[in-house]
Structure 1
């Protein structure tokens, strides 16, 4: 068996090493940029989830208050015990409602949940609310404004939401 001698170049320049290192640096930069984008998207998704969760909790509180008014024989709002719920009248000296009320709730020490129920019939004055002729099976009922506030979590909240509804039970 006869082997042919391999001729190695006497002087190697190492260009492949430099090209490989440049590619490695470029890939590392792409990886770092990709991780930053993924981290930003994760934070955005977390914020969206917290906001949606706070809105759903506030919406649920408003619907519970509406259901409670509908099921109450006297048709009135009864605040939940141990919570910061309240029934307000039209001549309330502190008429803060809507987004201003929700903003005040969010600045509270313990802003978890709150519901305010206001019967609006007395607010309307003597003007009739119905125009024309209503259905025979409808009776004149009270009109309620329900304001509900909630955070995404009871402890250490990151987002809050307020919902306001006007309904006829």
Structure 2
């Protein structure tokens, strides 16, 4: 029988096994942390999308009312929605964030629009800049629009308020 020229150590200690297990544990921890970071970023992106969608819907509502008022010189509420035209001396006037808070706490908070003619609050005074022609009376509107990101089971809401003169 021939012996191999390589002399094996008499006692093996298995240090490579321990080193490999440590590396395996470290790589597993890095993988778990990476998955948690990815999940957190996914939730943040989803929230950003919901907020942006709600804002764009509210902005679109406000702009549609502005276009309507510009064309017809009056506000026509949408059928079946929580739209209303209020007078400026209304005892419960529209007040941006408070009104939006009431809408958000509503049972069905999808969309709502409130339009107010502000020039009726200042009889005999001009709100317009500069000198107005004698035969024209400026009409100044305050449009408040509220919307959620989706109609069913909303996760975010937004309110937009504009003041403009057609």
What's the offset of the Cα at 1:10? 2.5
Q: Which moved more, 1:94-103 or 1:84-93?
A: 94-103
The secondary structure found in structure 2 opposite 1:108 is coil
The secondary structure found in structure 1 opposite 2:56 is helix
| TM-score normalized with structure 2 length | 0.91
Change (3 A) 1:131 1:113: closer
Could you tell me which residue of structure 1 aligns to residue 91 of structure 2? 93
Change (3 A) 1:117 1:93: same
What's the offset of the Cα at 1:78? 0.7
Q: What are the superposed Cα offsets for residues 94-126 of structure 1, whole Å, 9 maximum, x if unpaired?
A: 214211101100000000000000011111243
Could you tell me which residue of structure 1 aligns to residue 143 of structure 2? 146
Aligned residues: 164
What is the alpha-carbon distance in structure 2 between the residues aligned to residue 141 and residue 133 of structure 1? 11
Equivalent residues of 2:94, 2:144 under 8 A apart: no
Aligned residue among 119, 122, 126 for 1:121 = 119
What's the offset of the Cα at 1:130? 3.8
What's the offset of the Cα at 1:4? 4.5
| TM-score normalized with structure 1 length | 0.90
Structure 2 unaligned segments of length 5 or more: list them: none
Structure 1 unaligned segments of length 5 or more: list them: none
Change (3 A) 1:132 1:54: closer
Equivalent residues of 2:119, 2:127 under 8 A apart: no
